[in-house]
Amino acid sequence: MPFSPFKLGGLELPNRLVMAPMTRSRAYVAGIPSTLTALYYAQRASAGLIISEGAQPSPAGKGYMDTPGLHTDEQVAGWREVTDAVHTTGGRIFAQIMHAGRIGHPDNTGATPVAPSAVRPAAQLFTPKGMQDIPTPVELSTAEVEATIGDFADAARRAIDAGFDGVELHGANGYLIQQFLSQNANLREDRFGGSVENRIRFAVETARAVADAIGAHRVGIRLSPATGSQDLVEEDAHEVYPALLSELSEIGLVYLHHLAGGSVELDGRIRSLWPHALVVNDPTKSDPSAAVAHWLGQGADLVALGRSFIANPDLPVRLRLGAPLNEADLSKSFGGDHTGYTDYPTLALHPA
């Protein structure tokens, strides 16, 4: 079953293995992906679907050093080289649109980060000066929240212009969309804060705006219920996420990318809560074959794998053959040159 085809919106996926989005911090010039980035993704085009690293929809959405964007013509041109390389190699690729929200630092972006509320996370961030405390963010006004929704929609249009097959909204891992969902990062008193209905509003309105811009059949969303990422508290996740999924399912998003491990209760209910295509990424399972078998057995349609795809450009072939896997050198995960990025061997170079 992992190697059977699957129809996702208008795409025919050759297998059920998804390359998870992973920050690699190698867009050194104005957030523009490079020729090396194109090679990196093209090497992994045998995945059923590639989800790119997070690309910020605006300068305010940037959190980390050297991450790519989707808000300038030059960035679109850089991504076009990436998507052309993936498609030429027979692959399919979605762009992940990621606004970091309060997870940022002026030394990385030139500005104080923005957020639902002026609540500083108890966390540090890597900057050109090393690890530093994240500062207290600036609270977005209601008008700025609405403008940010527009930024997501504009980035989605740019993604399609750049040749992506669709986009994934990053609503997980403690970034802006999840900050609106949480109890301790969102203390707002307008229509985007307070009740469960209000706290899910930013995610719902963003998803609707992006779906209206490029078609719901080309839009997925990644969520990580109750993971506690980036100092977020979600004690009412059992109320927030069923309400959110109900609204998102009505919009008709093409898939939900569920990050498992935060809530056993929600992990067990996720298939029944989501009527469309379900992608599961389970970082608690270190064996990719075991993760794939478990979640396909639990009703997932697709399984996303991260670290395994970093080290194994030909991961689907290796899993199909039961071949040994390369180990990822995580010291080279962020930034650097081709080492730990495009130099991992394939079976074609080193037959089993």
Q: pLDDT tens digits for 181-193?
A: 999 999 999 999 9
The pLDDT value given to residue 352 = 41
Whether residue 350 is predicted with pLDDT greater than 80 in this model: the reply is no
pLDDT digits (tens, 9 = 90+) for 270-318: 999 999 999 999 999 989 999 999 999 999 999 999 999 999 999 999 9
Whether residue 78 is predicted with pLDDT greater than 80 in this model: the reply is yes
What does the pLDDT average to over 86-107? 98
Angle between helices 142-161 and 73-88 (to 10 degrees): 40
> Using an 8 Å Cβ cutoff, are 33 and 42 in contact?
no
What does the pLDDT average to over 162-171? 98
The pLDDT value given to residue 332 = 87
The neighbour count for residue 74, using CB atoms within 10 Å, is 13
Residue 348, φ and ψ in degrees, nearest 5: -65, -35
50 three-class SS: strand
Whether residue 157 is predicted with pLDDT greater than 70 in this model: the reply is yes
Q: How confident is the model at residue 351 (pLDDT cuts 50, 70, 90)?
A: very low
Q: Which H or E run includes 212?
A: helix 201-214
**Which residue in this structure is represented by tokens 């006004």?**
141
Query: Where do the structural domains in the chain lie, given as residue ranges?
Result: 6-332
Whether residue 335 is predicted with pLDDT greater than 70 in this model: the reply is yes
Tokens found for residue 131: 């690890």
The CATH architecture of the domain made up of 6-332 is: Alpha-Beta Barrel (3.20)
Categorise residue 240: left if φ over 0, alpha if ψ from -120 to 50, beta otherwise.
alpha
Whether residue 1 is predicted with pLDDT greater than 90 in this model: the reply is no
Tokens found for residue 79: 């991504």
Q: How confident is the model at residue 247 (pLDDT cuts 50, 70, 90)?
A: very high
What does the pLDDT average to over 16-21? 98
> Using an 8 Å Cβ cutoff, are 32 and 18 in contact?
no
Catalytic residue among 40, 41, 64, 175: 175
The pLDDT value given to residue 348 = 66
Active site residue 344: no
Using CA atoms, how far apart are residues 214 and 211, in angstroms rounded to an integer?
Answer: 5
Whether residue 17 is predicted with pLDDT greater than 60 in this model: the reply is yes
